[in-house]
Structure 1
Amino acid sequence: MTTGQWVSWIVLAILVFWAVGAYNRLVRLRNEIANAYAQIDVQLKRRYDLIPNLVETARKYISHERETLEAVIAARNQATTAAGEVRQRPTSAKAVGALAVAEQALDGSLARLMAVVENYPELKADETLRELSEELTSTENRIAFARQAFNDAALDYNNAAQQFPTNLVAGVFGFKEAGMLQSTTHEAERQAVRVQF
């Protein structure tokens, strides 16, 4: 073999080793997204399990607010379905986006339920409802932390898949951009509280 052939084989071997390394890195990062979503999924399941108990407790006091109660259950069911889709495909931007929309709808219906609860002092004083509300708030905090870990994993994956020259391997093997889970809190809730004297 000539020197030129040796150099060609060495360059080809380096390229193959680099491509294998880039592919394996993308797979590892994609799996980290799935793992991060599994942490969210645990908390979402906990949240989804608390909601029917909350609605049932409220139903004792506000049976004439049937529309509000049904809206919460319908939103919960949609969110549960969307979460299942993400569980199947955690890097799918479409599935993650659908989950964010479903979660926002669920948050809105829960906010309406809590607004109704405020109008009923006996319901507001119900110990079971208070405990469920506290549990729900605690779960929401855990979801927020898990969402941050998911978004960090998705960002690392997206950065790796989009940076040259790894994007060549990502394109050849179909590594698509992962979706980020947006916060489901409403813009008004993000505003700083204004204190006036």
Structure 2
Amino acid sequence: MTFLIIIAILIFLAVVVIGIFNRFVKNKNTVKDAWSNIDVALKRRYDLIPNLVETVKGYAAHEKETLEAVIQARNAAIAVPPDDINKQIQAENQLQKTLRSIFALSEAYPDLKANTNFLQLQDKLNEIEENLERARRYYNGTVRENNTYGESFPGVLFAGAFGYQHFDYFEAEPESRENVKVDFSS
């Protein structure tokens, strides 16, 4: 009789451990799936940036530093390995900051602000940013679930053994929430 109780306890513990392992796998795959939605929108944005820079260049050619910063940030974001989500988030925040500077330039150049091509590119970018925002909310929700499970009981007991991976939230950097300052006095 005690032998059957010991076997039942071992089977119960095995089922619990398998359930915990499967939850880690599910959470990680859900986060990666959520990131793939963001990745699609980011690629669309990467493709749009060169056209945007070329359009602005025609009106604000002497703003070379700003335009080069956008291209460098874009290239840096593209260069991040696709499986390194946390580094990709950092690169995207830097790119977002430089993109804001281009739109700040449009305020100083009325002809650029009225350019049909620029307006179409701006509308397309706004659409992409809206898609990114939705994907970002979903991604952050999956990250919250993954991180909470891996850092709380009983997940924390098995996190190291089962390859738990902590993911960063995809949030705007504090600096990107500030207004961009553009000075044309020189």
TM-score (norm 1): 0.83
Query: In angstroms, what is the RMSD of aligned CA positions?
Result: 1.7
Report sequence identity in percent.
36
Displacement of 1:57 in angstroms is: 1.1
- The one-letter amino acid of 2:122's match is S
- Would you say the 8 A contact 2:28–2:165 is kept in 1? no
Q: Is the 8 A contact 2:76 2:91 kept in 1?
A: yes
SS in 1 for 2:61: coil
Deviating more after overlay: 29-38 vs 152-161: 152-161
Q: 1:29 aligns with which of 27, 33, 44?
A: 27
Select 2:172's aligned residue among 169, 183, 195. Answer: 183
Whether 1:7 and 2:9 are equivalent positions in the alignment is: no
Once residues 104 and 171 of structure 1 are traced to their aligned partners in structure 2, the CA distance between those partners, rounded to angstroms, is 30
SS at match of 1:177: coil
SS at match of 2:161: helix
Stretch of structure 1 that moved more, 31-40 or 113-122: 113-122
Indicate whether 1:65 and 2:67 are aligned. no
Q: Does 1:131 align with 2:129?
A: no
Report what 1:119 is aligned to: 108
- Kept in 1: contact 2:24–2:162 (CA 8 A): no
3-state SS of paired residue (2:172): coil
Structure 2 unaligned regions, length at least 5: 180-186
Q: Report the Cα distance in structure 2 between the residues aligned to 1:30 and 1:175, rounded to whole angstroms.
A: 8
Deviations 1:128-151 (A, max 9, x none): 000001111111111111011001
Dislocated runs of 4+, deviation >6 Å: none
Measured after TM superposition, the shift of residue 170 of structure 1 is: 2.0
Question: What amino acid sits opposite 1:183 in the alignment?
Answer: A
Which residues of 2 match residues 1-197 of structure 1 at below 5 A? 3-82=1-80, 85=81, 87-90=82-85, 96=86, 98-184=87-173, 186-188=176-178
1:63-113 Cα shifts (integer Å, max 9, x gaps): 22211111110011112223xx3x3144xxxxx2x3333222222222222
Measure the CA separation in 2 of the matches of 1:54 and 1:125: 14
User: For the Cα contact (< 8 Å) 1:76–1:106, is it kept in 2?
Assistant: yes
**Is the contact made by 2:66 and 2:102 (CA closer than 8 Å) also made in structure 1?**
yes
Structure 2 CA distance for aligned equivalents of residues 171 and 165 of structure 1 = 12
